[in-house]
Structure 1
Amino acid sequence: MSTEIVLPVDREAVAALSNSKNEPAWLAELRLQALETAVQLDNPKPEKTKIDRWNLDAYGTASTNAKVAQFSELPEAVQEVLRSSEDSEVANVLVQVDSNVIYTQLAEELKQQGVIFTDLETAAREHEELVKPHLMQAMKADEHRVAALHAALWNGGVFLYVPRNVEVSIPLQALFYQKDSAARFAPHVLIVADTNSRVHYVDTYISSETTEASVHNGVVEVFVKPGAKVTYASIHHMSKETVDLSYRRAVVEQDGGIEWIVGEMHNGNTISDTTSILKGNGSTSDAKVICVGNGEQKLNLTTRAIHFGKSSDSQMITRAVMREQASSIINGITKIEKGATKANGEQTERVLMLSPKARGDANPILLIDEDDVTAGHAASAGQVNQEQVFYMMSRGISREDAENLIIRGFLAPVVSEIPNEQLQAMLKSYIERKLGQ
């Protein structure tokens, strides 16, 4: 007996979405094919996390927010975040509210160098030669139902292209704001860094407080061409009623490099999957992930490096703190394929639990199909040292403040390695918000 799959959207709605945005035929067809594929697929099955118990159908409906011409016209919540990360006038920024991008600003100097920084919907119409060969190629629509639904329903998003030999020294920023929990929120970020280019990109995901369930289904695809270097930083801090499904993929060619910096400060259930595909010889990946879990959160965080290139190198560091009744599964996966000689993969996962009811598993996994390689891992999961807490309490510090100090000290080694001082400050501010709840 088969079970009928009921999707949160139908074919007519997807076709209407494409038509309303005047999308090219190839993109409209991609969406419809993905929707048909979704019916045939299961949801992802992350290690030791039963997401079928989560509300995965609260996608809401597509909304439209009016575009604004001035930074001062943006919602106050957006201005507050962007101002906190800039000492001067905000520049080189894109803002999405609910289902569409309402503000984009890029310095004239970067435009003259050929940098493209716009919403993905516009890029699909105006830069088809760059978008079509890359969209849903690092993350395939047939990977699982969540991926297929994203391919069918994504909205707004970012397209960033950096031409050959161009170095962008100032970080480009995007802010994704879920203002209305009933609005569909599924941005797609697509970055193409051409040969020998350099770029730093930062995005932040926030939402208004709500008691209504919603789903964020987001995908990031980064294509690092030969010799290019990309730093991608992302911080998530949305409502506890929002299920956050975030998949990040990077394809790194010869002598290229990707650096991931991920701050999982979200307040609801989370799937976070960050994967580097080291395709070229001499390609590199460096991933730093930190997480704070509160309440009854369920978090599954996976960091993965797949080595194809010779002399490729991957580094992973994940540190997670679980408070109250929060639970986490931390997966580090290093896969070295046959032929990837001289490859090196190192990973460290550490979980700190501050409550007897908190849970945390650290799962380091090495999958090696080549002999001439080096690889290693370190992992730990344990309770906070109560002697440290009692010592600080004996000095007049409350238990809550003592625990918060221990959390800061536990996360500090990762935060301090972030090379961008602006991002460090932003991440610290979100850690403080988490600890203040």
Structure 2
Amino acid sequence: MSTPITSFGREAAAAIARSKNEPAWLVALREEAGQLATELALPKPEKLPLTRWTLDHYGSNRPGQAAASAADLPAPIAALLPENRSGALIVQHNSSVIYTELSDELKAKGVVLTSLEDAARSHEELFRKHFMTAYAADEHKLSAVHAALWNGGVFLYVPRDVTIEEPIQALLFADDAAATFMPHVLVIADTHSRVTFVEQVASSLGETTAALLHNSAVEVFAKAGSFVQYAAVHHMDASAVDIAYRRSVLDNDARIEWIVGDLHNGNAVTDTKSLLKGNGSTSDSKIISVGKGSQRMSLTTQAVHFGRSSESDMITRAVMKEEATAIINGITKIEHGATKANGQQTERVLMLSPKARGDANPILLIDEDDVQAGHAASVGQVNAEQIYYLMSRGITRTEAERLIIHGFLDPVVSEIPLEGLREQLHRILERKLG
């Protein structure tokens, strides 16, 4: 059994890479990231002191048991999979990918779906060109740690002009609090391709005092004229810490849709950013979150406009109950030269307890004159008039509040592109709001 890592640097990171027989260039990349991790500070989300969190217990390599078929997957994992699958599925269990399923039809079209660790060898050119370029290892300590220790992960490549009708599904699952659980998802959608990717992150840690660190990253590269719909649902145990940085880079006329359910039960930092590099590129982000107990969360959504006539829209809706706290940031940045750009954002927080707190911070940073930009933000309680109206129709107060809250979150929930996952999302919401 390997020893859990609580601190490391250049030599330790390189040793991990060599133990996996990774190529020399990847050993060097991890080695450099390991050195950065000793030099960089933690990020500093507003009003959220990360120095008090358990972020230095990185776990040890605990690979799951490879499965020959979906029927061989462990029962807790199988229970999380929708009944009707499309023939495109990848599963990570703790520190490794244990199962990949891709239809012959998609393989014939040149679609690649594999673990990121395998892609470093089998698709080295694409890997090296894109990996850790949208989310850089030198951003802060957490990004450096991720670049040094990432494991398993997902690599998806969609060739030019290929349209994938059914969603590609990824399930990232942990049931060992002592495991290194740092998946990285890399999606490359080539020119004029179309794909929907659904990521589910879950855990079943049981009774444990150990804190699982989920330090993850997503990088999406949408080439000219492509369309990527990326849906993510996170629902791990309260003893886990959820760190999720998501990045997309959009070329001319490319479009991304982020649909995110940050429904984790413990402390969380998430940051979803679109870099609209191309002219006519578009980003549409919809984020929901529900906090309860003593959760502390920082939820940031960003759009950075470089291309002319680029458009972004960001909607975040959060429900806070009991003593939960959420800091919600919406950042629209329009760079000089991004003429005719249009950036809009809305943050809304619903508080169900006098001790709950939700801060909505809309931020516009405009360096160009010929643009449109706007924001709206609100923080408040359940509308008393709506409750009164529903109760006048014979509905109890409890049920009236439940209906209003579900209606508040539905604009995002209804967009989840898998019926089975939508139903599961409703069950998660019922548990968190109950």
On whether the aligned pair clears a TM of 0.5, the verdict is yes
- Write the deviation string for residues 377-420 of structure 1: whole angstroms up to 9, x where unpaired: 11100122346557767877665544322211211233335566
Query: Hey, what's the Cα distance between the residues in 2 that align with 1:387 and 1:322?
Result: 20
- Alignment-derived partner of residue 192 in structure 1: 188
Q: 1:150 aligns with which of 137, 146, 153?
A: 146
- Alignment-derived partner of residue 367 in structure 2: 369
Q: Secondary structure at the match of 2:274?
A: strand
Deviation at 1:335, TM superposition (A): 0.2
Query: Hey, what's the Cα distance between the residues in 1 that align with 2:393 and 2:293?
Result: 28
Query: Hey, what's the Cα distance between the residues in 2 that align with 1:332 and 1:188?
Result: 24
Q: 2:89 aligns with which of 93, 116, 123?
A: 93
Cα 1:141–1:7, aligned 2, differ >3 Å: closer, same or farther? farther
Q: Does structure 2 retain, via aligned residues, the 8 Å contact 1:354–1:403?
A: no
Q: Within 5 Å, give how 1:33-432 maps onto structure 2.
A: 33-82=32-81, 85-87=82-84, 91-210=87-206, 211=208, 212-386=210-384, 388-389=386-387, 400-417=398-415, 421=419, 423-432=421-430
- Write the deviation string for residues 228-261 of structure 1: whole angstroms up to 9, x where unpaired: 1101000000010111000000000001011100
* One-letter amino acid of the counterpart of residue 137, structure 2: A
Deviation at 1:297, TM superposition (A): 0.4
5+ long unaligned stretches in structure 2: none
Query: Hey, what's the Cα distance between the residues in 2 that align with 1:28 and 1:103?
Result: 25
* One-letter amino acid of the counterpart of residue 366, structure 2: I
Deviation at 1:49, TM superposition (A): 1.5
Deviation at 1:181, TM superposition (A): 0.6
Query: Hey, what's the Cα distance between the residues in 1 that align with 2:305 and 2:65?
Result: 44
Deviates more, 1:57-66 or 1:165-174: 57-66
Q: Does structure 2 retain, via aligned residues, the 8 Å contact 1:306–1:337?
A: yes
- Write the deviation string for residues 351-387 of structure 1: whole angstroms up to 9, x where unpaired: 0000011000111111000000001111100122346
Cα 1:423–1:239, aligned 2, differ >3 Å: closer, same or farther? closer
TM-score, normalised via structure 1 length: 0.94
Cα 1:396–1:149, aligned 2, differ >3 Å: closer, same or farther? same
Q: Secondary structure at the match of 1:133?
A: helix
Query: Hey, what's the Cα distance between the residues in 2 that align with 1:116 and 1:430?
Result: 32
Q: Secondary structure at the match of 1:249?
A: strand
- Write the deviation string for residues 125-152 of structure 1: whole angstroms up to 9, x where unpaired: 1110110111100001000000000000
TM-score, normalised via structure 2 length: 0.94
Q: Secondary structure at the match of 1:357?
A: coil
Cα 1:159–1:421, aligned 2, differ >3 Å: closer, same or farther? same
Q: Does structure 1 retain, via aligned residues, the 8 Å contact 2:9–2:35?
A: no
- Write the deviation string for residues 316-339 of structure 1: whole angstroms up to 9, x where unpaired: 111000011111111110000000
- Write the deviation string for residues 92-123 of structure 1: whole angstroms up to 9, x where unpaired: 10000000000000001101110000000000
Q: Does structure 2 retain, via aligned residues, the 8 Å contact 1:94–1:174?
A: yes
Cα 1:90–1:192, aligned 2, differ >3 Å: closer, same or farther? closer
- Alignment-derived partner of residue 29 in structure 2: 30
Query: Hey, what's the Cα distance between the residues in 2 that align with 1:368 and 1:434?
Result: 38
Cα 1:418–1:183, aligned 2, differ >3 Å: closer, same or farther? closer
Query: Hey, what's the Cα distance between the residues in 2 that align with 1:209 and 1:65?
Result: 15
Q: Secondary structure at the match of 1:300?
A: strand
Query: Hey, what's the Cα distance between the residues in 1 that align with 2:362 and 2:421?
Result: 27
Q: Secondary structure at the match of 2:129?
A: coil
* One-letter amino acid of the counterpart of residue 81, structure 1: L
Query: Hey, what's the Cα distance between the residues in 2 that align with 1:395 and 1:214?
Result: 46
Deviates more, 1:223-232 or 1:209-218: 209-218
5+ long unaligned stretches in structure 1: 1-5
Q: Secondary structure at the match of 1:190?
A: strand
Identity between Structure 1 and Structure 2 (%): 60
Query: Hey, what's the Cα distance between the residues in 2 that align with 1:322 and 1:359?
Result: 7
* One-letter amino acid of the counterpart of residue 372, structure 1: D
Q: Secondary structure at the match of 2:136?
A: coil
* One-letter amino acid of the counterpart of residue 325, structure 1: E
Q: Does structure 1 retain, via aligned residues, the 8 Å contact 2:90–2:169?
A: yes
Query: Hey, what's the Cα distance between the residues in 1 that align with 2:418 and 2:261?
Result: 14
Deviates more, 1:417-426 or 1:223-232: 417-426
Query: Hey, what's the Cα distance between the residues in 2 that align with 1:91 and 1:327?
Result: 40
- Alignment-derived partner of residue 3 in structure 1: none
Q: Secondary structure at the match of 1:132?
A: helix
Q: Does structure 2 retain, via aligned residues, the 8 Å contact 1:7–1:39?
A: no
Q: Does structure 2 retain, via aligned residues, the 8 Å contact 1:228–1:257?
A: yes
Query: Hey, what's the Cα distance between the residues in 1 that align with 2:167 and 2:263?
Result: 21
Cα 1:381–1:23, aligned 2, differ >3 Å: closer, same or farther? same
Cα 1:9–1:392, aligned 2, differ >3 Å: closer, same or farther? farther
Query: Hey, what's the Cα distance between the residues in 1 that align with 2:55 and 2:417?
Result: 36
Q: Does structure 2 retain, via aligned residues, the 8 Å contact 1:116–1:159?
A: yes
Q: Does structure 2 retain, via aligned residues, the 8 Å contact 1:353–1:381?
A: yes
Query: Hey, what's the Cα distance between the residues in 2 that align with 1:402 and 1:17?
Result: 54
Q: Does structure 1 retain, via aligned residues, the 8 Å contact 2:223–2:252?
A: yes
- Alignment-derived partner of residue 20 in structure 1: 19
* One-letter amino acid of the counterpart of residue 127, structure 1: H
